[in-house]
Structure formats: structure tokens, C-alpha cells
Amino acid sequence: MRTISDISRHGVGDSTFLIVGVNHRTGPQLLRERLQGDAGDVLRLLGRCRESGISQAMAVVTCDRCEVWCVTPDAATTQATLTGLLAEAGGVTEAEMAPRLHALTDDAALRYAFAVAASLESQIVGEPQVLGQVKELQQLAQHAGMSGPELDRILEAAYQAAKRVRNDTGIAGQSVSMAACAVSVLRRMHGDVSNLNGLLIGDGDMAELIFEQVSATGMKRWTMVHPQERRAKAWAERNYTHWRPFGELPAAFAASDLVVSALDLGAELVSVEMVKAALKARKRRPIFLIDSGVPGDMDARIADLDDAFLYTLDDLERLAMAGRQHRASEAEEAWRIVNQAVASFRRQLTEQEAAPVIADLHRHFEQHRAEVLAQPGIDATEATRRLVNRLLHNPSLALKAAAPGKDLEAALRRLFGLNNKEDKT
């Protein structure tokens, strides 16, 4: 990533699009955690930006990054200001913060912002929630009075690029984490998950992760069982779920559409017979089982039963690996779309910046045309000769004074559609 001293100037109108902050590549996790916060923290950071003279800015604060995206007439000064504000937010000195920050401007910043919206700059490429996070953060900036036409135009172009990436590539087509793969399998098996029942056997890390991922999709009915009932009760109270004594495991099994075990006791606590009885009680409605114990908590022969779908961590990891390979293969096309979108946006800016000059040229030429035609007794040939002389008089003087070189000559030939010297016969 380039710093302010490295970049060329291709700004947004008379201003520069600037991004300053840390992300999962440039800042250690501990620093990013210090910079994380809720909506109130984001609004406070934006308030400090406003107090420091920055008029258009949004704070992009997610688990992967803490950055300020802004439009400014003075990129170097604003970068220094933001270094201080981010150090303040992170509770460190500017000297500690500055080496961790990345700073991007103009086309590099545009490409980065478009890629963030398209989830190409995330730790897990292609995750769909990133675009929603950016939109929510834009709304916070608007609420804080920190939005503006230049910044909003950039964000709208970024959203359009992200939409194209989503629609024209398969970058989000497969899950890439084990927990996300579990959610994907559950949905394929049962469809809508909101009315399903989940059972956790133990409170290991993987069970916790799957619980969080599946709950986020709308599945809210969970039961916890544990050989140590006080742990089951404490976990259930902490997560607002139910718990049952460990002796009621068979009954809890029969009531569950998803069962996740995470005890790591080295014993097969879930037998083939228990699952057969549960399936009979369920009238063969399928059960999705995830054995995250190492060694396993479930009898491997359960996988041979009809309507019982047993996955181990190795199974989920294979699915995740396939998903990561799929997303990597789609990323090249996604980056092509982003680069194309940046170039298109830059062309739009250039065309709009040129529009006032073109309008002035039209008025200037029309004024001379009217003056020549108003002269008495002039025919068409003489009128056009005088008009050409008038229009070329000032440009000719300016060109002679400038002593044009090859670059200027080539630009003029392109501007007026003249043949190159070597093209003449």
C-alpha cells in the first residue's frame, strides 16, 4: 500500500479521496481490537474528525479493519490529523500508531474501497455481510452530518461494483469456514432453519462457534446437555437457551434437528442405537449430526443409517477447503470487474470536470460566429475565413509562446483530429 508521498494526484474534483487506518494485513489483532467499538464509538470518532476540520468522512470499523475514508483538499495534512485521531481512539501514542497505518489516495483508494465493498479485501474473501456493514457505516456518517456529494458518489459506485461482483461471479457460492459449511449443509437439508431445534452436547469451542453461526441465520431454539449439569445450566443462562440433565440425552436427541457434540472425552457417548431410536420417534425426519470431538463423541457407524447425516471436523474442513479453492478461482474475475469499475468511475469524473470548459468553448465560439455574421456585406466564404482566424488567433499566440514539444503537439493532434506527420503522403 502506498503512502501519501508515493501517490500521484488524480483527485475527486479539487479534492482527494483518502483512506487511513489499519486492517487485518497491516495492524495486529490486539490493535484492531482496541479500535473496535459500537455505533457510539464510531460516532465519537466521526465527531472528532469534524472537530478537526474534516467535512466528509466515514469510519469503516469491522472485525477486519478500522479506517477513515474521507474526501479532503489536503491529503497530507488530513493524514497527519487522522493518525492522531486513530491513536487517540486506540489508546496509544502517535509514534506507536503511525507505523501500523496504511494510507491510500485517489485511484489506489478507489480500488481499495471498491474491493472492500465487494469483500475482496476481507480475511474471508467473498463473505456477503461486508457490503451491508459498509452501508450501515455510511448511514452512521450521514447521521453524524459527515457525508457529502463526493464521498456519496464514491460509495454508490463501490456498491454498484460489489453488486456486479456478486451477480457475475461465483465468489460467494461456497462456504469457506467449517461453521459456515455446517450452516450450508443444514439449510440444504431442512430449508428454513427458524423452526428447527438444536442440541449441544458439551460446550467446546467448535460447538460455540457453530451455535453462533447457526443462531445468526435465525435458528433460536437450542438445548444444552453436559455431564456436569452446573456447566450446562450456566451455559444456557449465559446464552438464553434451555438445558436438560445429561440423563435425558436420548429424549433431547429425538427432539433435535441438529446435534453438535463437543465433549472430547475419548468415549463414544452417542451410539447407533440412540440415533435409531431418535429417528423412529421422529418418524424418519432427518437429523444432521456434527461430531467435533477429538477423538470423536459419536459412533462412526451412525453415518450408515438412513436419514442420519454425520459430519466430523475433517468432513467440514474438506468442504471448507473446496469452498476456499472455488473463491480463489473466482477472485481473478472479481478483481477485473473492480478494476473496470474504477476506470469507468474515473472517466465519469474526468468527463464531468471537463464539462464546464466545453460549455465555455461553445459559448466562446458562438459569440465569435454571431459577431462575424453581424458584419455588413460579408459572404459565406469571407465569413468562415474570418471566423477561423478569430478562433485560432489566441491559441496560436499561446502555442508560439509555449514552444510546444512532442507531447503537446501530439495532444493537439488528438484534440483536433489531425493526422500525424508520418501519416501524411
Tell me the average pLDDT of the chain.
82
Indicate whether 202 pLDDT > 50: yes
In this predicted structure, what is the pLDDT of residue 145? 95
pTM: 0.58
Indicate whether 10 pLDDT > 70: no
The three state secondary structure string of 185-214 is HHHHHHCCCCCCEEEEECCCHHHHHHHHHH
Kindly report, residue by residue over 370-413, the tens digit of the pLDDT. Answer: 777 778 877 878 877 777 777 777 777 766 666 656 676 676 66
Indicate the DSSP class of residue 419: P
In this predicted structure, what is the pLDDT of residue 99? 92
Catalytic residues: 63
Q: Is the separation of the CB atoms in 172 and 128 below 8 Å?
A: yes
Kindly report, residue by residue over 91-112, the tens digit of the pLDDT. Answer: 999 999 999 999 999 899 999 9
Kindly report, residue by residue over 26-67, the tens digit of the pLDDT. Answer: 877 767 777 877 889 899 999 999 999 999 999 999 878 899
The domain locations on the chain are 4-173, 178-313
Q: Which of 184, 175, 204, 200 minimizes the C-alpha distance to 265?
A: 204
Confidence class for position 178, pLDDT limits 50, 70, 90? low
Mean pLDDT of 158-170: 89
4-173 maps to CATH 3.30.460.30 = yes
In this predicted structure, what is the pLDDT of residue 416? 66
Q: Which of 65-74, 187-196, 257-266, 318-327 has the lowest mean pLDDT?
A: 318-327
Instruction: Supply the DSSP string of 78-141, one letter for each residue.
Output: HHHHHHHHHHHHHTS-HHHHGGG-EEEEHHHHHHHHHHHHTTSSSSSTT-THHHHHHHHHHHHH
> Regarding the domain with residue range 178-313, which homologous superfamily does it belong to in the CATH classification?
NAD(P)-binding Rossmann-like Domain (3.40.50.720)
